[in-house]
Structure 1
């Protein structure tokens, strides 16, 4: 699948999720105001947070896709993680904060109008709409996991495309939140005790905290500068050591610059018989091999160097620290590969 198609699919997934969340947020707010249910109002805040998140994720996709220029020679891929982090922060502060606070207030005050029918109808419709949005996200996750020859679970855990991860987690949390809200409303309806409605609201807030925490952690790691996975690292090293003019790779470092951008830098010990022309040809061949196997590799830098004493036969180091062994990082470029 071409890179443009992948980005368009991600944009489509975000737009569908955003439109669904906006419609659901309005319906939940009306139902919450009519019924006075804390769980419904918390679900409305949940959907408002999700809608705002989709807007920020859309900005992340658009701004992160801008081409490189003189001020940003490696492009704007990392900016997508800034907006995605802000989206997670908004979910944490607004969605979770409101849900937990309103739930505690409901438990203490015990206020409810007693009108449950509207809430039940809105919950059922919301569940159907959220299911459609989640189904689209699941299709993209499965398609991308096949492209990376990975399982959907591994792809979600390792992918650097945090917009897909965010939509999937938020839609999943939305469906779980709807079930929690329905359970709280039903128990309050049957017992006449608003305690259950308040507890449901708090649980929805905790659910949002978990999702926001996962997404924030993932985006922070990518903003700091995360390497590709150990599996991809080994494959890149294999491609480079397979070049005829290369004796060994002394140091290999990688960095994820964006959802579809990887930088590769290596200190290469070329054979003693290699001429300048051989080295130039090897550099061109290295870039061709890596970009053919990993379209996400956008930058390849090779530094001819002599191997350190005693390094022959050892795997390439991932840092300049001679004593540090390669560590299994969390993600590759657009996925785990």
Structure 2
């Protein structure tokens, strides 16, 4: 139940961000074409990239939520990271590539039509809309961080739900980008030099590069098979070691199978006097305790091992 609620919340967060970015993208592109501002057009490309990213993230949530079947016994959770990785690449190529290229061309000899007011109005409205979208992502991040008794920054670094991470980073970058664009347009108007407008476009492109690289790295790590955070790992180890019939936990392996699915496998040295029935009962009890403590744990495999184990 907790996993379904978490997934549904992520879907709403992505949809809200997507609708907001679609409206903002249209306004920015129109304003950029009217004003001729490189920074405005870069912000338009930024929002278009963000909108496409939200579509890909929505696809990631839907595709990754499919139930396990014979060919995929552990489910399709990792497919969500494939789509999220594609979203990061799209941001890198479309958003960052266009912004930097257009900015460089403007620095080398761009012209502005002089319609500055429309740029300021669109940027102000965009800032408000992006703030609403970011506020929802922030609330979700803070709530999940409180549930895990960790800081928001720690949650964002370690979360396997890259859709929420993507929305948070993209909306944060969008607000920074809007501020940079406004600064570039204002300096160009004040000085009469389009250099500032072009530089603002380049800075927006570099900002998108950082976001895309961060998200790509996170998704690659999860695709390869990332373990749970150290604090959670230690708690799982403690729970297993505390079982009455357990002598020692030799090896503990964990892996994220999806945003809300974790696999736990361990080589456990049970006490020599423990009977087969006691070991079976303890294994069932261990799974119940771990799932109660961490609802995202979906599979628990314990391998009884005697003596030393590699």
- Identify the TM-score tier after normalising by the shorter chain: over 0.9
Give matches, 1:71-220, under 5 Å: 71-220=71-220
SS in 1 for 2:284: helix
C-alpha separation in 1, matches of 2:51 and 2:120: 22
SS in 2 for 1:104: helix
SS in 2 for 1:85: helix
C-alpha separation in 2, matches of 1:100 and 1:110: 14
Name the counterpart of 1:43: 43
Residue 289, structure 1, aligned to residue 292, structure 2: no
Name the counterpart of 1:222: 222
C-alpha separation in 2, matches of 1:209 and 1:199: 15
> What is the CA distance between 1:307 and its match in structure 2?
2.2
C-alpha separation in 2, matches of 1:275 and 1:60: 46
C-alpha separation in 2, matches of 1:100 and 1:244: 62
Task: Return the structure number with greater helix share.
Answer: 2
C-alpha separation in 2, matches of 1:117 and 1:235: 57
> What is the CA distance between 1:261 and its match in structure 2?
0.6
Q: List per-residue Cα deviations over 1:116-167 (Å, max 9, x = no partner).
A: 1111110000000000000011000010101111111111111111001000
> What is the CA distance between 1:110 and its match in structure 2?
2.2
Structure 1: 5+ residue stretches without partners:
312-319, 321-337
Name the counterpart of 2:28: 28
C-alpha separation in 2, matches of 1:110 and 1:86: 32
Structure 2: 5+ residue stretches without partners:
none
Name the counterpart of 1:250: 250
SS in 1 for 2:274: coil
After TM superposition, the score normalised by the length of structure 1 is 0.91
SS in 2 for 1:75: coil
> What is the CA distance between 1:283 and its match in structure 2?
1.0
C-alpha separation in 1, matches of 2:5 and 2:278: 37
C-alpha separation in 1, matches of 2:269 and 2:124: 64
C-alpha separation in 1, matches of 2:50 and 2:172: 12
After TM superposition, the score normalised by the length of structure 2 is 0.99
Count of aligned positions: 310
Indicate the RMSD between aligned Cα atoms, in angstroms: 0.9
Runs of 4+, deviation exceeding 2 Å: none
